[in-house]
Structure 1
Amino acid sequence: MRYLILALLLAAPATAQQVETDLELVLLADASGSIDADELAFQRQSYATAITDPAVVAAIENTLYGSIAVTYVEWATNQATVVDWTIIADMQSATAFADALIGPPRQATGRNAIGSALLVGMAQIDSNDIRGFRRVIDFSGDSMGNTYGPPITQARDQVVAGGITINALPILRDGRFMGSNLLQAYTDNIIGGPGSFAIPAESGPAFTQAVRRKLILEIAGTTPGTEFAALLLQPLQESE
């Protein structure tokens, strides 16, 4: 009997060991029709610049596990993974992620499907071989349109019920849908889960700065307005 059990164990397929890390982070970036080719490239470059900022890398190195897992997904009517799950633990791995972000062709096109995008972000987390101490979707966009897919709040509630926090980066632009009210709309309809927050961003350099601030807060697991957040963001403020 002992030999039979041993034979069965040897014949069983080996299960992949999960990678443990501090944070599973889905960067869910707008690639809908309101984002032209130059803006798409600028968004990617902004995230590449932010993820390699010394203050962001320091925040990663100071987490409980000393690493985070990140993927970059663009959303429109469909969703497309630009950079697959990557473990970032130092400047070298952050730079590798940033380099992979620049250059891939646009694959997400069409109009808005925010509800679908949130559910795809959830699926990205649930289907990987990584076990993060925290799980976050970082959603960015410049409107509240939802032409296709499930209602936004329904999708948000499903994601939050799955133990995932949704933060948001509303991109404020003059003349675009909802304008300055977009921050409130994202706060009311998109963000959710423990410690969730939204940080507004304008076009140009302000967008990159907002991305850096948001990443530091997400990596550290804190929210804007706290003394701890102010301390974390001080190096960025001194360099701007």
Structure 2
Amino acid sequence: MRRRSLLCHVSAGLLAAPALLPSGRARAAEPVDVELVLAVDVSRSMDSEEQEIQFQGYARAFRDARLIDGIAHGAIGAIAVCFFTWSDWNVQELLVPWRRIDGPASAEDFARAIEAAPRRTHLYTSISAAIDYASGLFGQGYEGTRQVVDISGDGVNNSGRPLDLARAEALRKGIVLNGLAVLDHTPPSPQFAALQPPLDEYYRDQVIGGPGAFLMVAEGFQAFEGAVRRKIIREIAARPAPAPLVERATA
């Protein structure tokens, strides 16, 4: 009788002591069709007007009915997206953390968050550090069938580690790198032109990579809004139509 009483007492104690059970269980990742990182260049080559064109272009893209329809037609009908700015090797700022977009309301909230984000300009252009930072953003509460980084910019890598190393590391992780190159039609100095290939060729050959990767080229900042909308619609498509490696958008 005493033994039975002791066993009952011990059993009751175990049931009443949740602290003895594992308390750090990870929350299951939420499935989405795509995890999309939007990486936006704010180096000194972007003046305040050009920076505003970028922010507004992304915000308006998420208000476009065609983009929202594309999300709805995915297998899950939702994507996860975040928005950060980048410049120097040590300057990356996550302005809009991960959000689930599954319809007009959540898309509008994301657009408003972009519009409300601060505008700051820095110095150099570190595409390599932007890729490294973007790679570390995945796996934070969402699990997409694809992980995509959307890098927009108007210059070549001139800060941080070699671009080819960052690119190769991201590709080994299965991340797709897409590019949005914004062409400034002001003729570069002869010395600079001799040192660097045209920006669209540079992004095509040295930035983008991974299954289905592509480059969208905005022919000047006035073409940016249309370019970014077309680019994101293509990125989220469940069954993308055959399309060229390089697309061009004009104002």
Q: Same fold (TM over 0.5)?
A: yes
1:94-105 counterparts in 2 under 5 A?
A: 94-105=107-118
1:18-57 counterparts in 2 under 5 A?
A: 18-57=29-68
CA distance in 2, matches of 1:204, 1:161: 33
* 1:62 alignment counterpart: 73
- Partner amino acid for 2:115? I
Q: C-alpha root-mean-square deviation of aligned residues, in Å? A: 2.5
The answer as to whether partners of 1:80 and 1:108 remain within 8 angstroms in 2 is no
The number of residue pairs the alignment matches comes to 226
The answer as to whether partners of 1:195 and 1:223 remain within 8 angstroms in 2 is no
CA distance in 2, matches of 1:224, 1:31: 32
The answer as to whether partners of 2:73 and 2:238 remain within 8 angstroms in 1 is no
Does 2:93 correspond to 1:80? Answer: yes
CA distance in 2, matches of 1:173, 1:85: 31
TM-score, length-normalised on structure 1?
0.86
The answer as to whether partners of 2:53 and 2:225 remain within 8 angstroms in 1 is no
What is the CA distance between 1:202 and its match in structure 2?
A: 2.4
What is the CA distance between 1:186 and its match in structure 2?
A: 0.5
Does 2:134 correspond to 1:121? Answer: yes
* 1:138 alignment counterpart: 150
List gaps (5 residues or longer) in structure 1. 228-239
- Partner amino acid for 1:52? R
CA distance in 2, matches of 1:96, 1:213: 20
The answer as to whether partners of 1:71 and 1:86 remain within 8 angstroms in 2 is yes
- Partner amino acid for 2:237? A
CA distance in 2, matches of 1:226, 1:38: 31
Give the ranges of 4+ consecutive aligned residues of structure 1 lying more than 4 Å apart after TM superposition.
1-9, 176-180, 221-225
What is the CA distance between 1:223 and its match in structure 2?
A: 5.8
TM-score, length-normalised on structure 2?
0.82
The answer as to whether partners of 2:128 and 2:157 remain within 8 angstroms in 1 is no
